[in-house]
A and B are shown apart, each in its own frame.
Chain A
Amino acid sequence: MADSAAPAHTAKTVYHSVANTHPVKVAASGVEVFYADKQALHGINLDIQDRSVTAFIGPSGCGKSTFLRCINRMNDTIDTARVAGSIRIDDEEINDRAVDPVLLRARVGMVFQKPNPFPKSIYDNVAYGPRIHGLASGKDELDAIVETSLKKAGLWDEVADRLDQPGNSLSGGQQQRLVIARAIAVNPEVILMDEPCSALDPIATARIEELIDELRENYCLIIVTHSMAQAARVSQMTAFFHLGHLVEYGPTEEIFTNPRDRRTQDYITGRFG
Chain B
Amino acid sequence: MGAIALAIAFLGVLLGTIVLQASGAFTNYVLTLPVTLEREIADPRGDMSEASLRRGSYNQLIQRSLQSEFPAASSRADLRELFGLYSGLNAASVMHRVIADPSLVGSTIDVTMPANHEIDLYLKGVTVEESITAGSGTIQAGAISGDITLSSDSPAFANAIARIRQQASSERDALLGRAARLEADAAGAASRDAREAGLAAARRAREEAARFDTVIDPETRITLGPRTASLLIRLNGGVVAVSALTPDGREAEGRVLLPLESAEASASWSEWVIETPAAARRITDQQAVYARALEERGMVERRFNTNLFLNADSREPELAGVMGAFIGSVLTMLVTMLLAVPIGVGTAIYLEEFAPKNRLTGFIEVNINNLAAVPSIVFGLLGLAVFINTFGMPRSAPLVGGFVLALMTLPTVIISSRAALRAVPPSIREAALGIGASRTQAVFQHVLPLAMPGILTGSIIGLAQALGETAPLLMIGMVAFVADAPSLGLSGLTQPSTVMPVQVFLWSGASERAFEMRTAAAILVLLTLMIIFNAAAIILRRRFERRW
Contact = CB atoms under 8 A, between A and B. Distances in A.
Given A79-B356, A132-B441, A116 B428 contact: yes
B433 A105 contact: yes
B430 A183 contact: no
Given A79-B356, A79-B357, A186 B434 contact: no
A74 B436 contact: no
A144 interface: no
Given A118-B446, A119-B548, A106 B427 contact: no
Interface string B428-455: 1111111111110100011000100000
Given A79-B356, A132-B441, A116 B435 contact: no
Contacts of B433: 74, 77, 105
A103 B446 CA distance: 19
A109 B434 CA distance: 6
Interface in A30-77: 72, 74, 77
B435 A119 contact: no
Interface in A170-196: 179, 182-183, 185-186
B436 A119 contact: no
B436 A102 contact: yes
B29 to A, nearest CB: 60
A105 B438 CA distance: 10
Interface string A103-126: 111100111101011111000000
Contacts of A256: none
Interface string B404-439: 000000000000000000000101111111111111
Contact of A186 (B432, B436, B450, B548): B436
Contact of B430 (A116, A133, A186): A116
A179 B428 CA distance: 12
A105 B433 CA distance: 7
B53 to A, nearest CB: 66
Given A79-B357, A112-B427, A183 B441 contact: no
B449 to A, nearest CB: 8
B356 to A, nearest CB: 7
Chain B interface residue count: which class?
20 to 34
B435 A183 contact: yes
Interface string B505-526: 0000000000000000000000
A267 interface: no
A132 B431 contact: no
Interface in A221-238: none
Contacts of B356: 79
Contacts of A119: 428, 450, 548
B446 to A, nearest CB: 6
A117 B436 CA distance: 15
Contacts of B438: 102
Contacts of A118: 428, 431-432, 446
Nearest to B430: A112
Contacts, number: 66
A15 interface: no
B361 to A, nearest CB: 11
Contacts of A112: 427, 430-431, 434
Interface residues of A, number: 29
The B interface, classified by DSSP as helix, strand, loop or mixed, is helix
Contacts of B425: 116
A105 B431 contact: no
A128 interface: yes
Contacts of B437: 102, 128, 132
Most buried by B among A114, A128, A166, A185: A128
Nearest to A117: B431
A185 to B, nearest CB: 8
Interface string B336-368: 000000000000000000001100000000000
A251 interface: no
B430 A74 contact: yes
B436 A129 contact: yes
Nearest to A185: B435
A74 B357 CA distance: 18
B432 A106 contact: no
B434 A183 contact: yes
Contacts of B431: 112, 116-118, 179, 182
A109 to B, nearest CB: 6
B62 to A, nearest CB: 68
Most buried by B among A72, A116, A120, A129: A116
Contacts of A128: 432, 435, 437, 445
Most buried by A among B356, B430, B434, B441: B434
A186 B356 CA distance: 30
Interface in A69-111: 72, 74, 77, 79, 102-106, 109-111
B348 to A, nearest CB: 18
A186 B427 contact: no
Contacts of A72: 434
A116 B427 contact: yes
Contacts of A104: 436
Given A79-B356, A118-B428, A118-B446, A74 B548 contact: no
Nearest to B450: A119
Contacts of B357: 79
Given A116-B427, A118-B428, A119-B450, A105 B441 contact: no
Nearest to A114: B427
Contacts of B436: 102-106, 129, 132-133, 186
Contacts of A182: 431, 435
Nearest to B548: A119
Given A118-B446, A119-B450, A110 B428 contact: no
Nearest to B356: A79
Nearest to A183: B435
B434 A74 contact: yes
Contacts of B445: 128, 132
A105 B435 contact: yes
A5 B67 CA distance: 124
Contacts of A183: 434-435
Most buried by A among B427, B433, B436: B436
B435 A106 contact: yes
A129 B427 CA distance: 16
B448 to A, nearest CB: 12
Closest 10 A/B residue pairs (Cβ): A106-B436, A116-B427, A110-B434, A105-B436, A119-B548, A129-B435, A116-B431, A102-B438, A102-B436, A132-B437
17 contacts: A72-B434, A74-B430, A77-B429, A77-B433, A79-B357, A104-B436, A109-B435, A110-B435, A112-B427, A116-B427, A116-B430, A118-B428, A118-B431, A118-B446, A129-B435, A166-B548, A182-B435
